[in-house]
C-alpha cells in the first residue's frame, strides 16, 4: 500500500482591511503613480480598482463619481509638485528663491509631459481649469514669504511664476545639446524677479488735479 503524500498548498492571501481614509489614500496613490504614464483623462478606473484589489463598484463607494476620483488625484499631484519645488527648511531670501527656481526647472524637465497633462489637460476633471492658477499662486506666495514681500506684490510675482513656467517648458522641449545651461536660465529668471519687485522703482503718484 502506497503511503499518501500530502502536498502543502500555498496559504491563502490575507487581504488587509483598510479604513475608509486609508483606502482613499491607497487609491489616490495608485492614480498618482499612473499619472506619470498617461494624462488623467486616460486613466482607467478598472485598472486602479484591480491594482487595489477591489471591484470597480467598490471604488465608487470611496469616490462618488469618476470625476471626483480624478479631481482628488489631480489635487494630490499639485501638492506633490509644490513639495518637490519647496526650498530646504531654513532657506530664505534670494538663496531660497534660487533653490525653488532650480527645483521648478528640474521638476518640469523630468516630468514635462505629465506636467503639461496635469496643468493644461482641460476638460478632463471638473474644476481643473483652476489648477494652473492655483499652483502658480501657491508658488508665488512662497516667494513672497521667502523675500518678505508685501501682499501688494502678489499679482506681479504670480505673473513672474507664469513666466518661469513658460521658460522652463520651452527649455525642457529643446535637445540638451542645443539648449542654454540650467544655471544661465536660473540667472535670467532671478534677474527678472529682481527687476519686477526687488529693485523696482515705486510708481509715481497719479496726478489728481482737476
Hey, what's the cell of 189? 529668471
The residue segments making up the domain with residue 180 are: 20-198
CATH number for the domain that contains residue 126: 1.10.357.10
The rounded distance, in Å, linking the Cα atoms of 104 and 162 is: 12
Q: What is the reported pTM? A: 0.74
205 in any annotated domain? no
8 in any annotated domain? no
E strand or H helix that includes residue 154:
helix 154-173
User: Are 71 and 126 spatial neighbours (Cβ–Cβ below 8 Å)?
Assistant: yes
1 in any annotated domain? no
The rounded distance, in Å, linking the Cα atoms of 36 and 122 is: 17
59 in any annotated domain? yes
207 in any annotated domain? no
Cα angle: 197, vertex 88, 160; to 5 degrees: 25
15 in any annotated domain? no
192 in any annotated domain? yes
pLDDT in tens, the chain (210 residues): 445 444 444 444 345 678 999 999 999 999 988 877 777 778 899 999 999 999 999 999 999 999 899 888 888 888 889 999 999 999 999 999 999 999 999 999 988 887 887 777 644 454 445 666 788 899 999 999 999 999 999 999 999 999 999 999 999 999 888 888 889 999 999 999 999 986 765 555 454 444
Cβ neighbours, 10 Å, residue 189: 22
| Domain count along the chain | 1
Hey, what's the cell of 35? 499619472
Quickly list DSSP for 168-188. HHHHHHS-TTTSPPHHHHHHH
User: Are 72 and 28 spatial neighbours (Cβ–Cβ below 8 Å)?
Assistant: yes
10 in any annotated domain? no
Amino acid at each position: 500500500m502506497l503511503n499518501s503524500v500530502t502536498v502543502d498548498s500555498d496559504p491563502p492571501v490575507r487581504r488587509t482591511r483598510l479604513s475608509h481614509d486609508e483606502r482613499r489614500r491607497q487609491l489616490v496613490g495608485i492614480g498618482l503613480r499612473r499619472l506619470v504614464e498617461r494624462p488623467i483623462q486616460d486613466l482607467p478606473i478598472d485598472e486602479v480598482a484591480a491594482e487595489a484589489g477591489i471591484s470597480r463598484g467598490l471604488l465608487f463607494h470611496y469616490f462618488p463619481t469618476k470625476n471626483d476620483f480624478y479631481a482628488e488625484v489631480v489635487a494630490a499631484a499639485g501638492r506633490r509638485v509644490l513639495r518637490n519645488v519647496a526650498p530646504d527648511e531654513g532657506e530664505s531670501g534670494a538663496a531660497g528663491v534660487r533653490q525653488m527656481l532650480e527645483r521648478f526647472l528640474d521638476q518640469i524637465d523630468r516630468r514635462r509631459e505629465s506636467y503639461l497633462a496635469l496643468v493644461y489637460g482641460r476638460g478632463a476633471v471638473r474644476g481643473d481649469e483652476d489648477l494652473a492658477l492655483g499652483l502658480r499662486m501657491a508658488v508665488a506666495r512662497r516667494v513672497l514669504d521667502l523675500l518678505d514681500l508685501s501682499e501688494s506684490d502678489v499679482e506681479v510675482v504670480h505673473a513672474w511664476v507664469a513666466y518661469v513656467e513658460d521658460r522652463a517648458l520651452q527649455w525642457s522641449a529643446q535637445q540638451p545639446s542645443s539648449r542654454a545651461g540650467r544655471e544661465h536660465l536660473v540667472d535670467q529668471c532671478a534677474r527678472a524677479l529682481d527687476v519686477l519687485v526687488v529693485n523696482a522703482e515705486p510708481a509715481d503718484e497719479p496726478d489728481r488735479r482737476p
